[in-house]
Amino acid sequence: MNTEPTPQPLVVAIDGPSGSGKSSTARGVARRLGLDFLDTGAMYRACAWEAARTGAETPEQIAAVVTAAELQVTTDPDDPRISINGTDVTREIRDPEVSATVSRVATVPEVRVDLVLRQQQIIGEATRGIVAEGRDITTVVAPHAPVRVLLVADPDARVARRQAELGEKVDTAQVTDQVIRRDRDDSTVATFTEAAEGVTVVDSTHLSLDEVVDRIVRLAEEAAR
Ligand SMILES: Nc1ncnc2c1ncn2[C@@H]1O[C@H](COP(=O)(O)OP(=O)(O)OP(=O)(O)O)[C@@H](O)[C@H]1O
Ligand SMILES: Nc1ccn([C@H]2C[C@H](O)[C@@H](COP(=O)(O)O)O2)c(=O)n1
């Protein structure tokens, strides 16, 4: 009789502040290891987009919109898409207006309870394994993941990266608000500035994207031994 435990699909959890490179890194690791990919920030952004569309402003109104929402999230690292109530908002959730308001949605407790459960369901259904990124993956969503990483970078580097990504369409004051102010707001409901016990800190300030991906792939390979 085979008494070997059935190997569990690998879960890699990556948290970090805005602009630290979580999404790019997580997609790179997922591609390299043949895993699914979950951008939990996109779920909060989709909810912020729907809240704005419906005119929901108070925490109660926002919570009602989110808990009633039908969210479809795909986990292909080469084409992650998200729809809310039947509308594909994959592109729209990156608009500056969404970036400026998403923290208001993400700091509603009932929203977090609802989205954490949905994220845990997506992770549990990822039969080939998954890389999930956000702010509370290593601490709340998947605290028992075999690979847990806090990806950090100097604030100046993070602002510069976001500015380079957004180009001239967004001025430096807006970018700084999107990065630094949003992190301050977000850190009131999730701990992503200090690594929890068992979480590996990777500082990407002076590392290329590929070097960061290499480091986390090595952590995953060591965990799989
Ligand atoms: N190590 C790195 N060196 C240089 N640029 C990087 C590095 N990692 C990511 N980038 C670039 O920085 C920008 C922001 O990266 P990304 O969107 O992955 O960050 P993030 O942490 O997911 O941000 P947010 O949480 O705000 O969505 C992208 O243009 C990305 O290509
Ligand atoms: N697990 C998560 C993921 C994201 N958020 C918040 C943080 C931001 O305000 C917003 C969008 O995230 P981003 O796309 O910038 O990574 O959602 C969170 O609270 N918890």
Residue 6 covered by a domain: no
Q: How far apart are CA 124 and CA 18, in angstroms?
A: 26
Tens digit of pLDDT for each residue in 153-188?
999 999 999 899 888 878 888 888 888 888 888 888
43 lines ligand 2 (CB under 6 A): no
Count how many Cα atoms sit within 13 Å of the Cα of residue 127 in the half-sphere of its side chain. 0
Domains identified in the chain, total number: 1
Residue nearest to atom 25 of ligand 1 (CA): 18
Residue 222 covered by a domain: no
Q: Is the pLDDT of residue 191 over 90?
A: no
What are the backbone angles phi and psi of residue 13, rounded to the nearest 5°?
-110, 125
Tens digit of pLDDT for each residue in 114-163?
999 999 999 999 999 999 999 999 999 999 999 999 999 999 999 999 89
136 lines ligand 2 (CB under 6 A): yes
135 lines ligand 2 (CB under 6 A): yes
> Cβ(93)–Cβ(68) under 8 Å?
no
Residue 224 covered by a domain: no
Q: How far apart are CA 47 and CA 45, in angstroms?
A: 5
Which SS3 state, helix, strand or coil, does residue 132 take? strand
Q: What is the CATH number of the domain that holds 66?
A: 3.40.50.300
The answer to whether the complex's ipTM is over 0.85 is yes
> Cβ(46)–Cβ(31) under 8 Å?
no
Confirm or deny that 204 is annotated as ligand binding.
no
* Rg of the chain on CA atoms, in Å: 17
Q: Domain of 121?
A: 11-217
Residue 178 covered by a domain: yes
Residue 130 covered by a domain: yes
Give the nearest ligand 2 atom to 136 CA: 1
Give the nearest ligand 2 atom to 141 CA: 1
Residue 5 covered by a domain: no
